[in-house]
Structure 1
Amino acid sequence: MLSAFFFTAFILCLSNTLPLSDFFPFGEQVGDSIVRPNDDEAEGPFTLPHIFPYFDNNHRQIWIANNGLFSFLSAIHADDQRLITGFWSDIDTRGLVNGTGNRVYYHIYSDTFLSNITLSIFMKVRDYVQRFFSQQRLFEPTMVITGTW
């Protein structure tokens, strides 16, 4: 009975995985920048090529933290933050993992420079938004910010 349970659980896990093609490309080979190794710090501010509307506020700069978040008002050391937390965790990127490093990548794509990679990212974002928010009006991105933790 126990072996049947593990087999069923394993099959369920396999059926709920995402194909790699659903992920965005990342790393130095696609022009991503690397957040310097740190513990509980953020890099920035980075000036954004377009206004980023976030609820009732518009932002022109962003900080990128190694702990899995983007912040708009300052680095994450202050209260009353406006954050986007795709993967908020306690991450220390100062050490090595399997001898290859422990890196956080980010990229700010803009329609002001449309390389082949930027065009493919824009198409993927547009397709995701239209698929998951089909009741919304047509969406054409002008800027995409990616973070890979």
Structure 2
Amino acid sequence: MWVPDPPRGGPNPPAMAPWWPPLGGLLYPFGPAVGDEATPREDDGMSPEIQLWQPFSFYGRSHRSLYVNNNGVVSFGTGVPEFTPEPFPLPGHRPFVAPYWADVDTRLGGDVFYRQSQEPELLARLTRDLTPAVTSSDPTPKPTWAFVATWYRVSFFGAASKKVNTFQAVLATDGATSFVMLNYGDLQWTTGLANDGNAYSGLGGTPAQAGFNSGDDLHYYNIPGSRSPAVLRVGHRSNVGVPGRWIFRVDVFTATEGPPDPPETPTPSPSPSPTLRQTTEERVYICGS
């Protein structure tokens, strides 16, 4: 028999037995067996501030720490306890990556794992997997550091069913060139009860948001289907031809929902400055039914 969820901030249930995936598959290995830590099993919780072994460049800013937030966000500078997803760009300086921003409640099920790594085997796999995200004129990605955050079978706030989601964000850099990889497993819900979702189906209301927000109001990306029922199928789509995987280079500008209008008369710059590649065409593959 289902027991109603406790109020926000209520007691935690007993922890689930640790679990990790077999080798291979779309998601990178995660869980206690590979050295992951886990966020507190609470509603709207997050990790402590994590000091990075290597700076991560995100649209012109070098970040040396981040937070892993239970509500499906990896953020720089500050945690993100908000459970209502909003479309990008967000007002104010709020740089973060959102594989699946929604109202997660791990008191009702699931775990959020994370680790940073310089393991040669992991970096070699990233080198292979990131290659489809660059053009032939770009150098082959050779990351020297990675951060893996995994939301494993997480439930939603107010859930009256066993519907759960699994997804992952992988950050990788060589100290200059940076990438974000989003991997999706089984997605069964889009919306928590506080965002007008159905307690049994996990659907309706304000669905999840996926993509990234640089924090400068210009550089951002909303994965197609975000904040609509179609976000449930993000795991069947891709921008690199691999169902359930999305990869973005994020040290420079490579994708946006709508670039700002150019000035009528270009204003010459008094001194050289980095050039951000502004590309409005994003490859999106529909993979399977």
Query: Scaled by the length of structure 2, what TM-score is found?
Result: 0.39
| Alpha-carbon contact 1:41-1:75 (below 8 Å) kept | no
Aligned 1:69-108 pairs, distance under 5 A: 69-77=73-81, 80-96=93-109, 102-108=110-116
Q: Which residue of 2 aligns with 1:39?
A: 43
1:24-49 deviation line (CA, Å, top 9, x unaligned): 11111111111111111222211000
How far residue 77 of structure 1 moved from its aligned partner, in angstroms, is 4.8
Q: Give the partner amino acid of 2:146.
A: V
* Partner Cα distance (1:48, 1:119) in 2: 18
Match of 1:21, SS state, is: coil
How far residue 87 of structure 1 moved from its aligned partner, in angstroms, is 2.0
Q: Which residue of 1 aligns with 2:134?
A: 133
1:146 matched to 2:148? yes
1:109 matched to 2:114? no
* Partner Cα distance (1:67, 1:126) in 2: 29
Q: Relative CO higher for 1 or 2, CA cutoff 8 Å, sep ≥ 6? A: 1
| Alpha-carbon contact 2:37-2:114 (below 8 Å) kept | yes
Q: Which residue of 2 aligns with 1:50?
A: 54
Q: Which residue of 2 aligns with 1:6?
A: none
* Partner Cα distance (2:125, 2:102) in 1: 26
Gaps of 5+ in 2: 1-23, 83-91, 152-289
Q: Give the partner amino acid of 2:134.
A: F
- Bigger CA drift: 61-70 or 73-82? 73-82
Aligned 1:56-71 pairs, distance under 5 A: 56-71=60-75
How far residue 80 of structure 1 moved from its aligned partner, in angstroms, is 2.9
Query: Scaled by the length of structure 1, what TM-score is found?
Result: 0.72
The alignment of Structure 1 onto Structure 2 pairs a total of residues equal to 118
Match of 1:37, SS state, is: coil
| Alpha-carbon contact 2:69-2:81 (below 8 Å) kept | no
* Partner Cα distance (1:148, 1:77) in 2: 17
Q: Give the partner amino acid of 1:38.
A: E
How far residue 57 of structure 1 moved from its aligned partner, in angstroms, is 0.5
The answer to which structure has the higher helix fraction is 1
Match of 2:107, SS state, is: coil
